Amino acid sequence: MLRPKGVCQRLGISYATLREYVKKGYIKPVVLQTGKWRFREEDVEKLMGIVRKRKVILYARVSNTQKDDLINQVKYLEETVKGRPGDN
């Protein structure tokens, strides 16, 4: 059983989006006696086939006199997003 945080990380979505998915019936939580949600692994994996991964768009800009810094900025941005959900 997975906690909502784990589900969000696996799917690359926010908690608000997870709540919407529950509300729309895309995934059904198991509600504990305390009222907290848990999710079955198989339900999450089924939903993973439906949810599209987000595209990451990088934007770097420099003035005309700093063109050399553009390469460094792009490298920094690429390293920052590596390994994040949605990264292909």
Is the domain of 28 the same as that of 58? no
Instruction: Supply the range of the domain harboring residue 31.
Output: 4-48
Which of these is catalytic: 55, 57, 59, 63?
Answer: 63
**Placement of tokens 């390994």 in the chain:** 83
What confidence category does residue 50 fall into, taking pLDDT thresholds of 50, 70 and 90? confident
For residue 66, the model assigns a pLDDT of 82
14 catalytic? Reply is no
Handedness of CA 73, 75, 78, 80 (dihedral sign): negative
Residue 25's pLDDT is 93
Give the chain's domain count: 2
Report the SS3 class of residue 31.
strand
Task: Quickly state the pLDDT bin for 88 (edges 50, 70, 90).
Answer: very low
What CA–CA distances, in Å, run from 42 to 34, 69, 71? 23, 47, 43
**By three-state DSSP, how is residue 86 classified?**
coil
* Contact criterion met (CB below 8 Å) for 47 and 40: no
26 and 58 fall within a common domain: no
